[in-house]
A and B are shown apart, each in its own frame.
Chain A
C-alpha cells in the first residue's frame, strides 16, 4: 500500500484550514516510504496538497531534513555548533567519518552510512552530541563514536533506539531523560508513527 492511501493522510488534512499546510508532514511520509524524496514522491505530495511539483520541490530544498538524494540506512549527524565545537566535536566527526569510510556530506557506496555535520541539535549540555536517524546520543567521545559506527555495521539494527545507543556509546547528558522508550527510528526520518493522528475533528 502506498503511503498516499494511509488513513493518516485524511486525518492530517483535516488538521489545517488550508491543505498546503500538510506539505511538511506529507514530505516526511513520502520520505519514509521511498527512503528519500524521489521525483515520484514529490509528485505524490504535490497532488495531495494542490501545488506544483516545482513548488513542493522548492519547499523541500529549504529544509535540511528533507533529502533529495539517497541516504544510507543510518544517517549519522554530528553537531558542530558552538557548545559541541569547544568540546572537540571536530574530533568526533573525524573519527566517525574515518570509521564509516564516508566523508561528511556523503553516502557510502554500500548504502549503509550517510555522515553529516549539523548545527545545534539541542543537546548542548551533553556535548558532543550525535544523532543516528535523529535518535539522540549525548556525550559521545571519539572512541565511542568509532564503536558506534562498528556496532551499527555489525549489529545492523532495524530500529535504532536512543536509550540503547545512549547506554552503549553516550556519556554526559543534558538532563535526566526519564524512563526508557521502546520507540525508535527505522530509517532516516524522525520516528513519529502517530504523526497527525492526534486531535479532534477526526
Chain B
C-alpha cells in the first residue's frame, strides 16, 4: 500500500512534470474539492483521516486546522520544507520527485482553511528540490492551476517559494515564521500558537511537506479510507528515511505497525556484513536511542512514545556493533550545540558543555567525574531526564541534545567508562 511514492515509482523519468501529473489523475482531487465540496467538508475529511503531522510532533492535522479563529483574515498556510534533522531526507524526495503532488495538497488545504496566500519554505541547501518546485509552480501558474479563479470557482491562491539559508532552528515553526518575516530565526514563546497568531501576526497553519502531500489521496479516497490504513493512532502510510549501517539505505513508504527489526531486514536488507544492530535512533537525531534488544518494537507513534522515544521526523539511523557510541553521540550533541539559537541559557551553555566533555572523552582525556558532569548538565537542560523531557527552554532543541547523552549512559555506561583513563596518582 503506497500513497506518496506511487507516481514516482511508476514513472521514474518524469514524475515531477505537470504532463505526467495530469496523465495520472493529478489535480483532479483539487478540482473535485473546489468544485463540489465545501471547505468545511474538506476539513471534515482531513479530520476523519486521523492524519498526524509528519514534521516531528505528530499533531493531528485536522485538529490543528480547527484552532484557526473564525473571524480573522487573512490566514496564511506555510509549508515546512526546512528538513534538517540529521537522518532525515524524505521531504527532499517528495519535493524533487513529485512537486505537483505537494502543490495539489496545498491547493486543497488552502481551500479548506480559506487561505489565499501560501509560502513554501525550503532549506537553502536544497537547490535541486527548490528548482523542481519553482518549475512546478511556473507550470501550475501557466496552466491556470494557481493564481486567480481556480477551476472557475472564484477561489484565488498564490504560492511563493522562500529559500532558507542554513539554520536548523528555522524548522521549528515559530522560528520559521520569524525567518520568513525577515528576522533572525528565533523561536517564539508559545502560546500564542501560530494558528492564532502566526505569520505577520495573522492566523497561520504550518504543515510539513509530507503531511500536505497526503491531501490529494485523502480527498480522492475519503478520510475514512485513510484512517483504515495502519494501526490505530498511526493512520496512513509514512515515508521513513533509513540510514546508517544498513545494506540498502533509502526512503521507504510503509504502513506503520511492522517492527523495526522487520523494517531494517525487509527494506534495508539488514545490517552490513551480517553484523548485529548495536542500537538505532527511531526518529531523527532528537530522539532517544533504542538498543538491539528493542528491534521487536512495532513502528507506531504510540508504541515508540511509550518506550521512551519518538518517531519524530521518521528517520531511522542504524548503528552496528562496531560503532563507537561516544563518537556518534558527540556528532549529535555537536549538531545541537552548533544549531542552538542562543536565546536560552541552559541550551546555549549546556549544549556547548556537553560537546566539550564528550570531545575530551573521545580524545582519551576524559576524567572520572565526566559522567556525572554530563548528567548534571543534562539535568539542567531537561530536569529529571524523563521522556518526554520537561521543558525549561523556549523550544525543544535544548532538551533534544540530552537524548544521546541519556541513551549512551543508560545503555552503554561501561563502554563510556572504559574510554576514560584511570586517574594517575601524581608522583
Contact = CB atoms under 8 A, between A and B. Distances in A.
Interface of A: 15-18, 20-25, 27-28, 49, 51, 58-59, 62-66, 77, 80-83, 85-87, 118-127, 131, 134-136, 162, 172, 174-179, 181, 183, 185, 190-192, 194-195, 198-201
B166 A64 contact: yes
Given A122-B89, A124-B315, A136-B128, 19 more contacts: A16-B160, A66-B166, A80-B331, A81-B87, A81-B332, A81-B335, A86-B323, A87-B245, A119-B339, A125-B242, A134-B124, A172-B249, A174-B241, A177-B96, A179-B13, A185-B127, A194-B134, A200-B141, A200-B147
A49 B181 CA distance: 11
Given A49-B182, A59-B183, A134-B124, A125 B250 contact: yes
27 contacts: A15-B160, A24-B182, A62-B184, A81-B285, A82-B86, A82-B285, A83-B243, A86-B244, A86-B245, A86-B323, A86-B327, A119-B84, A119-B86, A120-B87, A124-B86, A124-B317, A136-B128, A174-B241, A174-B249, A192-B131, A192-B163, A194-B131, A194-B135, A195-B134, A198-B141, A199-B141, A200-B147
Interface string B168-200: 100000000001111111000000000000001
B75 interface: no
B245 to A, nearest CB: 7
Closest 7 CB pairs of A and B: A20-B182, A64-B166, A63-B165, A65-B166, A125-B249, A85-B331, A190-B127
B21 interface: no
Contacts, number: 212
Contacts of B13: 178-179
Contact of A200 (B12, B146, B167, B328): B146
Interface of B: 8, 12-16, 83-89, 91-93, 96-97, 123-128, 130-131, 134-135, 137-138, 141, 146-148, 156, 158-168, 179-185, 200, 241-245, 249-251, 281, 285, 315, 317, 319, 323, 327-328, 331-332, 335, 338-339
Contacts of A28: 163, 165
Contacts of A27: 165
Mostly helix, strand, loop or mixed at chain A's interface?
A: loop
A174 B127 contact: no
A49 to B, nearest CB: 7
Contacts of A25: 162-163
B4 to A, nearest CB: 12
Nearest to B159: A199
Nearest to B11: A178
Contacts of B131: 181, 183, 191-192, 194
B251 A119 contact: no
B125 A124 contact: no
A51 B182 CA distance: 10
A120 B86 contact: yes
B368 to A, nearest CB: 26
B184 A59 contact: yes
A136 B89 CA distance: 13
A179 B17 CA distance: 11
B151 to A, nearest CB: 15
Contacts of B127: 134-135, 185, 190-192
Given A178-B97, A179-B13, A63 B163 contact: no
Contacts of B146: 199-200
A65 B244 CA distance: 26
A22 B163 CA distance: 10
Contacts of B126: 122, 190
